[in-house]
Amino acid sequence: MAGRDQARLDEAARAIRAASPRAELRTLVLDLADLASVHAAAKEIAGSETVDLLINNAGVMHLPQRRTTRDGFETTFGTNHLGHFVFDAQVWPAVRRSVAARVVTVSAIAARWPSGKLEDLMSERRYRPMGAYAKSKRANVVYTLELARRTAGIPVEAVVIHPGAALTGLQQHSTGLVRLLTPLVARLAMGSPAAAAWPSLYAATSPDVHSGQFIGPAGRDQTSGTPKPVRLPKGADDPAEGAYLWQESEQLTGITFTV
């Protein structure tokens, strides 16, 4: 289990062992907003481990002001996409040791928003909190579809999901009226955090899921419900956009990712 804080990792591990005493767990400190942390964590895995299932799940949302990571990336895009991109690249030897690996990346409904165009990736010309989030979530989809194309000839499947809507710590940076209304909105329109995990679990384990699919809740507004394949953001399956994002990700991070 990967996380930024060892104390919180230990707390989560204790809770899991209490519920399932036979669980075999290892913890790994990993901060996707710090490439030195990403490299150190990946190094522990890449040398000798086998990764059958890799879930790119971490994320930040609605940072009120533009911030940068330790490496100078806009924090939302740097964490939600570039951190995962570098970690995947660095642990790829462990993924390739698996006889049938699956990479699941967690996007969001926001990937469909018009504000999520993959331009001005570092939001240097204009920063909008939810625009940066939408951009990073579209990048999750575009990256996954490009990964699916590049792994077509090897035993690796790449799947992207969106979890619907649930009230979690992700909303901690919401401000003003939005923050006041969040509990009411959550009760009326959002699913539970446990239900929001269903698309990830389905994408990770179902034999009916195939590389390149976008999985989300089946409810009419797709905020909750049984997981199923859902429509992609418009144009996200364009190979040209996938190649552009891959190239930009390599240039920004200085990491070559060859599958």
Which token pair is 159?
A: 């799947």
User: Which residues have C-beta within 8 Å of that of residue 186, sequence separation ≥ 6?
Assistant: 166, 167
User: Which residues have C-beta within 8 Å of that of residue 52, sequence separation ≥ 6?
Assistant: 98, 100, 101, 102
Helix (H) or strand (E) holding 158: strand 156-161
> 214-218 — which CB contacts under 8 Å span 24+ positions?
214/107, 214/141, 214/160, 214/161, 214/162, 215/159, 215/160, 215/161, 215/162, 216/109, 216/161, 216/162, 216/163, 216/164, 217/162, 217/163, 217/164, 217/191
Out of 127, 133, 143, 244, which one is annotated catalytic? 133
Phi and psi for 42 in degrees, rounded to 5?
A: -65, -35
User: Which residues have C-beta within 8 Å of that of residue 137, sequence separation ≥ 6?
Assistant: 80, 107, 108, 110, 111, 116, 162
Active site residue 202: no
Instruction: Classify strands 214-217 and 227-229 as parallel, antiparallel or unpaired.
Output: antiparallel
Which residues are designated catalytic? 133
